[in-house]
Structure 1
Amino acid sequence: MADPKRVEEGLIGHTQVGNEEFNMDGHDHHKKEEARIYDDAVVLDPTDLHDKEKSSHHIHDEQNQPLPPIKPKTKRVATLDAFRGLTIVANDAGEAYPRIDHSPWNGCTLADFVMPFFLFIVGVAIALALKPNAMKLDFDVAENTQGGYSHAPNDLSYGVDMKKIRWCGILQRIALVYLVVALIETFTTKLRSTVLNPGHFSIFTAYRWQWLGGFVSFVIYMVTTYALYVPDWSFTVHDDQGTTEIHSTVKCGMRGHLGPACNAVGYVDRQVWGINHLYSQPVWKRLNACTLSSPSDGPLRENAPSWCRAPFEPEGLLSTISAILSGTIGIHYGHVLIHFKGHSERLKQWVSMGLGLLILSIILHFTDAIPINKQLYSFSYVCFTAGAAGIVFSGFYMLIDVWGQRTPFLFLEWIGKNAMLVFVMAAEGIFAAFINGWYYETPDNSLVHWIRRHVFVDVWNSERVGTLLYVIFAEITFWGVVSGILHKFGIYWKL
């Protein structure tokens, strides 16, 4: 039978997210003598912690001289750092092979896991950082605004037309999901019991308000997606030379359509933000209906549908409402980490939920009920990516915290601890753009271009293999070393 003493603070003592501490050993330690107040202790409840802190100031030696309090040991959640580092690394993978780049429409590739994995991480971190005895909310959000400004790394131009600025982006989505999930977590602290009742589903009932918030976002998304009427719409773009304006009209007049042209997700963004403020290079241009080069980028077919040239916002309003579910599932995994003291109990909760989400998503996708679609952030996509995140997180937990295989994943931990730095400087191309800015005669004759071409591509006589090796050794390995050095000196970029 499950132990009813799973309290709000959890039977965990020394793992840290930001300045928060947790114990990942999974063992139920007995209270020791007061001289070991903090060393390897387990905080059973807030009064227990208070009593221990108070007694630490009253311990005296043989001459009745007070001893200084013993400071707690600190240790970050290695699993969460490594998982965050893996997500950063995966963000660069699609550059090498188009088939693992973002799916042009239905389906899910490696690159499509990055956004929901980050939202999952945000959810886990919120649960840990907003525990009742939390002192400070401090964790990394490793994303950058994708609205304009820098056009790095290959295009050295800088600036943005405010008339066409993209209002949405990755950071904006993370901010909204974080805001909703964190507010629910904050305002429901006093509404839930500090002790879980026995039973597999007690964790769900204890945090019913969080799940209610996720359910509301699900209802809003589903009702709007399938019930909103999408009329015909028009747009204007320039040709490939950027000189001639092309005016096009997309025929719709329907409800519940999940294709590129007439879905409710795009319609909501056109109405709320305005068509000029949407992403102008959507991945659907790599669809076979648009280009013969599919799934790679290429020139549009002569008879390509008009919507192939149209803008579409992949981080729009309605799809971001759906993304709240990713954060909700992530915070559930954090709650399990807090409440359940044993490795087996945690893994049982995590793996069962992850497998259940994967099975549900696969059924929905292959029955064509709700296809997996990153651009729409469909419900099946939420389930598929959250389930995968749960399984990968559980795998890392087994390897790192249960079996103690931490050394092979240290570079991921280092990257995860400095995720903001690595994403902005590497994935967004800021560092490469700085190096490219110093060139000889032509912009293509820079150090970065020379290394990529002569050290990797020409040696292997393959653009794809060379690019993949460049990403592994010149980007991932390089930033792993940089992150390790910064970690050695305790230097971290944070929000």
Structure 2
Amino acid sequence: MASVAIDVAGEQTATQNCPSSPSVSVEIPTEETKNLPLEDVSNTPVLPSQQIVSIDVFRGFATVILILVVDAGGAFPSISASPWTGLTLGDLVLPFFLFACGFSVALLFKKVPDRKAATIKAVKRAILLFVLGLFFQGGYFHGRGDDTYGVDLDRIRLFGILQGFSARFITPAKDSRRRANINRIFLSGMTVVWLDNDGIVDSPSSFARRYYPEWVVALALCSIYMGFSNNLYVPDWEFHVLKSEAVNRVSCGVRGSLSPSCTAAGLIDRFFLGEKHLNQRPSYARMKECSIRSPASGPLPSDAPVWCQAPFDPEGLLSSFTAVVTCFIGLNFGHVYTNSRAHGKTLITWLNTSLVLVIVGLVMKTLGLPFNRSLYTVSFLCVSSGICGIVLTALYYIVDVKEIMKPVLLLKWIGKNVLIVYALSALQVCSIVLQGFYWRSPENNPVDRLESGLQALFHSTQWGTFVFVLVEIIFWGLFSGFLHRKRIYL
């Protein structure tokens, strides 16, 4: 075996075992052990570097799915987030990012020498992320097809995806030498700063002793969520229809309802955030009760219930309790990796944990608790986290064990600069800027002309849009590769 060291900036340098060195001395496989058959994988040492390649690929994969859902979801409604209950490709985007954040925290913050300093830096980053969320998702940008901008502060959306992330997951920097790696991970939880116990992990029992506080918190969060969801009384309530003087009244008077109109999550958000600051176009407006083109958006049916026009935010306060548990699950997967000494042991543990989560989620659904991304139900938490684990396990085997890199190179590059790709592409900031440059009429802008040209070429709106999105993904992959080559990480 060859002995090398991985320093905290992620660079490999030859070194001797030195307690005072900021590097970690580990053994890695030699040329003879790189291509072991599957049955010998369990004897292959794990390389516990700060960044395993598969987690970058995993983040890139999540970002590509997000771009596909945002830009092709109109042409293919079946991949968009479920209008209310169900499980689609779009529903998995948020869990993928939360899971990746938790995993990354386990790699970066095994030990925190100064908890107070780390917490201060974490709060600063959370505030910055919240402000960015208000700017990008508060309503200032009006989306493609609308060349106006600006937002009424009386109706600004307080909790979009980025704002919700800032409250759930905060990335504390331990020292300046880790900034480069931290900047690649745009979100994670600071809970590990305060909850991790010290000690060597050399058995399942020592693993449990070191990390059990995190699971105590995770179980407490789920219990609080279930307590409010099942027991909070939701009275009748009123709301103002968007861009109208009309006031509609919704009849509830129930506890434990999972219908869009009478959830405890909606009540809590209206009370603490105010109905004006919630998402005014919630996903349940695409339900068959609310859209004649369901599951796509469309005009209201003649007999649509009044709550179809009511505000609701899936990134609200109560759903954050279970959403944060997804990060804890990713954190546990990261702990398994950082404390494992063999690829096979890591793969088996991850796969078994993932399958258990999926089975638990399916059992809960069978017992009457539906998959619901907007409410982030416990059944959805379990099954989505299990799917995340299965995907990461597969990528880890392909990329880190078998070292097959070329097919996922674009995903790796995107995963290293996920925040900038997310802002410019998934939030459509780049498209909105480009559509401001047009020839004689606003419709003749570069973005719309490219998409309409591809639709005409393929004689299909759906497949023309799909190819347009593929071109967009390839562009952002190459752009991220350029940033990676220049060592620019945002």
Tell me the TM-score normalized by structure 1: 0.82
C-alpha distance in 2, partners of 1:74/1:187? 23
Choose which of 191, 194, 207 in structure 2 pairs with 1:187: 194
CA contact (8 A) 2:101 2:189 kept: no
Choose which of 231, 236, 261 in structure 1 pairs with 2:235: 231
Deviations 1:253-305 (CA, angstroms, capped at 9, x unpaired): 00000110101011110011111111000010111111221111110001101
- Answer yes or no: is 1:163 the counterpart of 2:161: no
Change (3 A) 1:192 1:290: same
* TM-fit CA distance, 1:19: 2.9
DSSP-derived class of the 1:285 partner: helix
* Aligned AA (1:19): A
Unaligned ranges ≥5, structure 2:
24-47, 172-187
Deviations 1:277-336 (CA, angstroms, capped at 9, x unpaired): 110000101111112211111100011011001010110000011111011001101101
DSSP-derived class of the 1:49 partner: coil
Paired position in structure 1 for 2:20: 50
Choose which of 474, 482, 490 in structure 2 pairs with 1:485: 482
Change (3 A) 1:358 1:87: same
Q: Larger C-alpha radius of gyration, 1 or 2?
A: 1
C-alpha distance in 2, partners of 1:255/1:247? 24
Deviations 1:22-59 (CA, angstroms, capped at 9, x unpaired): 9xxxxxxxxxxxx9525xxxx7xxxx532798xxxxxx
CA contact (8 A) 1:21 1:75 kept: no
Choose which of 88, 94, 103 in structure 1 pairs with 2:82: 103
CA contact (8 A) 1:326 1:382 kept: yes
Paired position in structure 2 for 1:351: 351
Paired position in structure 2 for 1:433: 432
Unaligned ranges ≥5, structure 1:
1-11, 23-34, 54-72
Change (3 A) 1:75 1:380: closer
C-alpha distance in 1, partners of 2:275/2:251? 16
DSSP-derived class of the 1:234 partner: strand
* Aligned AA (1:193): G
DSSP-derived class of the 2:154 partner: coil
Q: Aligned ranges for residues 305-384 of structure 1 at < 5 Å? A: 305-368=305-368, 370-384=369-383
C-alpha distance in 1, partners of 2:408/2:267? 43
C-alpha distance in 1, partners of 2:22/2:300? 70
Choose which of 4, 9, 17 in structure 2 pairs with 1:19: 9
* TM-fit CA distance, 1:129: 1.0
Paired position in structure 2 for 1:291: 291
* Aligned AA (2:80): D
Deviations 1:389-448 (CA, angstroms, capped at 9, x unpaired): 111011100000001101211110101111111111111111111211011222111111
Change (3 A) 1:371 1:74: closer
- Answer yes or no: is 1:78 the counterpart of 2:77: no
* Aligned AA (2:239): F
Change (3 A) 1:15 1:381: farther
* Aligned AA (1:230): V
Change (3 A) 1:106 1:273: same
Deviations 1:356-390 (CA, angstroms, capped at 9, x unpaired): 0011111111332x111000011011111111111
Percent identity reads: 34
* TM-fit CA distance, 1:14: 6.1
* Aligned AA (1:428): L
- Answer yes or no: is 1:126 the counterpart of 2:93: no
DSSP-derived class of the 2:241 partner: strand
Change (3 A) 1:236 1:36: closer
C-alpha distance in 2, partners of 1:117/1:482? 22
Change (3 A) 1:491 1:412: same
* Aligned AA (1:491): I
Tell me the TM-score normalized by structure 2: 0.83
DSSP-derived class of the 1:235 partner: strand
DSSP-derived class of the 1:291 partner: coil
DSSP-derived class of the 2:246 partner: strand
C-alpha distance in 2, partners of 1:263/1:352? 34
CA contact (8 A) 1:192 1:207 kept: no
Deviations 1:442-471 (CA, angstroms, capped at 9, x unpaired): 2111111111101x1111121111111110
C-alpha distance in 1, partners of 2:22/2:488? 32
Change (3 A) 1:253 1:14: farther
DSSP-derived class of the 1:321 partner: helix
Change (3 A) 1:21 1:356: farther
